């Protein structure tokens, strides 16, 4: 039997006086009815113990249980998706290793460390005066310089009008586009855009304006100027969390790893409360092009 080990996140526990229970990856408990099967033998099989050196099995392959009831239980675990082979962890493909990072060093530094550990090759744009408008932002040709596989832009503040307009065109040139920004105590990790038709920053601004009755106030807040007191600090734990979320999205895009739960990364806005480090997810869709108004006839 090639599948014998429990998948990651699934565990079996012996409950005093009640037999075995399975804890799912979602944290739910299910009763395991073993009937006359040997519980110790079942636990040994599910842990992968005894998978080596058994007669009639290959290396890394668990021996088939001799007891018919035991075989039935193991097959039930496999049919329910709780058993699996152990594939090697996906490696970051060479064609997607070059990741260009722009923006606040407080965010790009931990992000670069995460990406390097995962197998990517991040390169951070040299320090320069921060872009504050579309006029001072890198143009599309600048963003495409060096043929990056992805561009990530991190802002420790709101997004000025038009700043990301050029970057929104990156997916049309085969370059993945990921970004985050902060508005006071709230930070936003926007959906990764990897192909034409994915959610851009302009789509997200339009969706947020449409979703709030305070759309005039929000638009004015983005445009500035803004008056504030003591600046909101971006703490080391908060920056590390934002960097980890970005790195995970990039790793799943690069390796093709699935999203185990929740919304897909390309249709998900994440809002991070920087006071509590609480993350909430919100679905977001692209904004379709508006058809031109038909011409009026006299």
Instruction: Give the ranges where 136-292 is alpha helix by DSSP (H).
Output: 140-143, 201-211, 215-223, 236-255
Alpha-carbon span 199 to 207, nearest angstrom: 10
Q: What is the CA radius of gyration of the chain?
A: 25
Alpha-carbon span 81 to 69, nearest angstrom: 19
Residue 241 has a pLDDT of 98
pTM: 0.80
Specify the pairing of strand 150-154 against strand 176-183.
parallel
Residue 146 has a pLDDT of 93
Q: Give domain limits for the chain.
A: 5-84, 94-283
For residue 275, CA distances in Å to 67, 88, 182 come to 56, 38, 12
For residue 66, CA distances in Å to 20, 62, 69 come to 20, 12, 9
Residue 298 has a pLDDT of 46
Q: Residue 122: which of 141, 137, 140, 105 has the closest Cα?
A: 105
Residue 31 has a pLDDT of 93
Alpha-carbon span 5 to 41, nearest angstrom: 13
Q: Which fold has domain 94-283?
A: Rossmann fold (3.40.50)
Alpha-carbon span 272 to 186, nearest angstrom: 6
Specify the pairing of strand 5-6 against strand 83-84.
antiparallel
Residue 130 has a pLDDT of 66
For residue 5, CA distances in Å to 44, 62, 288 come to 9, 9, 46
For the chain, 298 residues long, the average pLDDT of each consecutive 10-residue run is 73 92 92 86 78 42 64 88 76 96 95 97 77 79 95 94 94 97 97 95 95 94 86 94 97 88 87 97 89 53
Preceding omega of 104 cis (within 30 degrees of 0): no
Alpha-carbon span 108 to 48, nearest angstrom: 41
Q: Please give the helix or strand (H or E) that residue 280 lies within, else none.
A: strand 278-283
Instruction: List residues bridging with 272 in a β-sheet.
Output: 187, 279
Q: Residues 111, 249: contact at Cβ < 8 Å? A: no
Q: Residue 67: which of 47, 44, 83, 90 has the closest Cα?
A: 44
Alpha-carbon span 167 to 173, nearest angstrom: 10
| Residues whose CB falls within 8 Å of the CB of residue 19, separated by 6 or more in sequence, listed in order | 31, 32, 33, 34, 39
Residue 136 has a pLDDT of 78
Residue 131 has a pLDDT of 67
Alpha-carbon span 169 to 203, nearest angstrom: 12
Q: Residue 77: which of 35, 16, 111, 34 has the closest Cα?
A: 34
**In a 3-state reduction of DSSP, which class is residue 106?**
helix
């Amino acid at each position: 039997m090639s599948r014998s080990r429990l998948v990651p996140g699934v565990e079996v526990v012996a409950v005093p006086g009640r037999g075995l229970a399975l804890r799912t990856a979602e944290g739910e408990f299910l009763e395991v009815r073993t009937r006359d099967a040997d519980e110790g033998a079942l636990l040994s099989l599910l842990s992968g113990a005894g998978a080596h050196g058994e007669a009639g099995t290959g290396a890394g392959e668990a021996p088939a249980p001799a007891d018919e009831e035991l075989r039935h239980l193991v097959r039930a675990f496999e049919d329910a998706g709780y058993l699996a082979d152990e594939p090697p962890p996906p490696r970051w493909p060479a064609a997607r290793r070059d990741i260009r990072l722009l923006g606040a060093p407080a965010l790009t530094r931990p992000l670069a460390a995460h990406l390097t550990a995962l197998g990517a090759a991040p390169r951070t744009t040299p320090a320069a005066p921060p872009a504050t408008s579309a006029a001072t932002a890198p143009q599309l040709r600048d963003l495409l310089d060096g043929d990056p596989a992805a561009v990530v832009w991190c802002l420790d503040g709101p997004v000025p009008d038009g700043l990301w307009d050029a970057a929104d065109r990156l997916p049309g040139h085969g370059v993945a586009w990921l970004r985050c920004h902060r508005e006071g105590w709230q930070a936003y990790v926007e959906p990764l855009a990897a192909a034409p038709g994915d959610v851009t920053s302009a789509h997200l601004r339009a969706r947020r304006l449409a979703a709030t009755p305070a759309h005039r106030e929000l638009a004015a807040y983005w445009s500035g100027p803004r008056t504030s007191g003591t600046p909101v600090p971006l703490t080391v734990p908060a920056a590390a969390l934002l960097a980890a979320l970005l790195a995970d999205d990039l790793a799943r895009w690069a390796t093709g790893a699935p999203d185990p739960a929740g919304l897909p990364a390309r249709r998900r806005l994440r809002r991070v409360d920087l006071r509590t480090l609480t993350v909430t997810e919100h679905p977001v869709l692209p904004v379709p092009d508006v058809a031109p108004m038909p011409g009026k006839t006299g």
